[in-house]
Amino acid sequence: MSAAKQKTLKGVGASPGIAIGRALVVSKSPVRVPYRPVGGGDETEREVERFQKALNAARDDLNKAKAELGPDLADYAYIIEAHLGILGDKMISQRGEDLIRSQGINAEWALGLAEAEAKSIFENVKDDYIRSRSTDVEYVAGQVLKHLAGNNGIELSTIREKVVVVAHDLSPAETTQMDLSWVMGFVTDMGGPTSHTAIMAQAKAVPAVLGLERVSQEVKSGDFVIVDGSAGAVIVNPDEETLHDYRDQQEAYELYAQEILAQAHLPTNTTDGRRLEVGANIELAEELGTALTYGAEGVGLFRTEFLYVSQRTLPTEEELFVNFKTVAQRLGGRPVNIRTLDIGGDKFASSVELAPEINPALGLRAIRYCLKEQALFRTQLRAILRASAYGKVRVMFPLISGVGELLQARAVLEQVKQGLAEQGQAYDPKLEVGIMIEVPSAVAVADLLAQHADFFSIGTNDLIQYSLAIDRVNEYVAHLYQPLHPAVLRMIRQVVDAGHAGGIPVAMCGEMAGDARAVPLLLGLGLDSLSMNPLAIPRVKQVLRLASAQEWGRLAKNALGFATAAEVSRFMETELGSRFSTVLAARVPLPAQTG
């Protein structure tokens, strides 16, 4: 196709599909931040005024972008609202002004320092989704910096040819400026599978590869590129053979995507009549639209952490209630499992402070933190209970390690119920209470826990990490993170057996639940429902509809007999290949999610 040599760049596949066309590089790199001391007095006040004008200009840009959202993107207004919230929060606006005054520095440098402090709050959080929200701070600071520097970049609304947009980063405000009918794909240096660029790309079914680090420097406008959003690859100046191969893949993917989405809302019944519920993992109420589009039958995991780490003040009961109520109402009787806070106090953007811990993963977090800070816990429980009057709401306690913790949590819940009843507040008196099975001790006493819980949900991300003593972000041991490890499979089976013996259903909401290659085995192990990133739902449902529960029950027994993860993996490849070769050969991504 081109005289230039073909080059392949690897990033993160953030939105599935294949785009083929010419690149348009809309930004080369972030604006450089200069350092300049200011002399105090009037000079300081002029610098503060510059800073405030840039904040106001950035706010005007965001409000304009929000007003220009079309009806097909109306559900994603929350992304811009989140940026407006960060812009107005003290962590940027007030902190920047304070730094100008206290350190005698220019607005650009003060903004950079405030940005770094705010980002650190998010980046220290264990949850992948919340950690990725540090990019929101970058977006907001970048918009302010452009106005300080007098550089507003390319006018994206003028794009009038089919292009692949290449950028250092793209904010939702920038994305809304484009007529996406002209955009075949997104490629950026920054971002990941849960970034807002990814969310917007998924909403509009635009293939996207993010996190390429230097793609905006390595690609020139006019270069011919292939964007493989399923494999996370960008091929620059492909040769004829590669181009021909990808055109075939593009046609096959588009046909497959149409077929699988058309079937996404069918019930998930196996060939022998077993019914599994397939739900979505979400972080914000506004994500529910995408989840329902992709066939979610409920929300198996509604994380509540984002509201606590995204603002300087703790969310009020009313703020939490509105979020929970919105989801409950939109689900129309389908279930939503609301997980209580699953981080430690050291991760809040708010004023809550705790002493630093040597190993936070083994410290005061999740249910342990909530039982210590009961005022915060009660506020959250009140909001959940009030929302239960508007739909099928269930509460789920994370990181339960034994019966004692569960009984303590339930006692607090009963006290909150009594308080609401005395105030005449409506709630579901039969609210179901579930627990996350995430630590080996919970597996060991699952039979005892089942006597005090209405359902279990296995969080495989933490369960695998704690059971195999693996830190997934440690490059030296990450390869040992093995969902098919015999110990992990046996623990899943033990929890399922204990739950069923106790008369309660057992779900899974960790990353493993969204892996279509693992799903038949999970069916065989006896799980009752699965919850995952919305994009994974259609293929998981398709695999389940083609599977026999009885057959995979026998195969699961065989898998439990192997000694190593490698043996289980080889066994699964053989069995999957003979039953689901067409479905699993389709190059559709299985995005990571947390549980």
Residue 29 confidence (pLDDT): 54
Contact 106, 47 (CB under 8 A): yes
Helices (H), 68-195: 77-88, 93-103, 107-123, 128-132, 134-149, 172-177
Structural domains of the chain, with CATH: 7-27+154-241 (3.50.30.10), 42-149 (1.10.274.10), 268-585 (3.20.20.60)
Predicted pLDDT at 487: 95
Q: Which residues have a Cβ under 8 Å from the Cβ of 195 and sit 6 or more positions away?
A: 14, 132, 135, 210
What is each CA distance from 54 to 48, 59, 101, 172, in whole angstroms? Answer: 10, 8, 17, 19
- pLDDT for 166: 92
One pLDDT digit (tens) per residue for the chain, 595 residues? 546 789 999 998 888 889 999 999 886 555 667 788 887 788 899 999 999 999 998 888 888 877 777 666 666 676 777 788 888 878 888 889 999 999 999 998 999 898 888 888 777 766 666 666 777 787 788 888 888 876 555 566 677 889 999 988 887 667 766 777 889 999 998 877 667 677 778 767 789 999 898 898 899 989 999 999 988 999 999 999 999 999 998 988 888 778 888 888 998 999 999 999 999 998 878 788 888 988 999 999 998 887 776 666 788 999 999 999 999 999 999 999 999 998 764 444 444 554 455 455 566 778 999 999 899 999 999 999 999 999 999 999 999 999 999 999 999 999 999 999 999 999 999 999 999 999 999 999 999 999 999 999 999 988 998 898 876 655 566 666 789 999 999 999 999 999 999 999 999 998 899 888 899 999 999 999 999 988 889 989 999 999 999 999 999 999 999 999 999 999 998 998 888 876 665 544 433 333 3
Q: Which of 147, 370, 485, 509 is an active site residue?
A: 509
594 and 128 in contact (C-beta within 8 Å)? yes
Cβ–Cβ < 8 Å for 271, 42: no
Closest CA to 153 of 170, 172, 136: 170
pLDDT (0 to 100) of residue 589: 40
Residue 594's pLDDT is what?
34
370 included as an active-site residue: no
What is d(CA 324, CA 72) in angstroms, rounded to the nearest whole number?
A: 23
Q: Are 418 and 456 in contact (CB under 8 A)?
A: no
Question: What is the pLDDT, as a whole number, of residue 346?
Answer: 45
Would residue 509 show up in a list of annotated catalytic residues for this protein? yes
Q: Give residue 139's pLDDT.
A: 78
Catalytic residue among 196, 479, 485, 500: 196
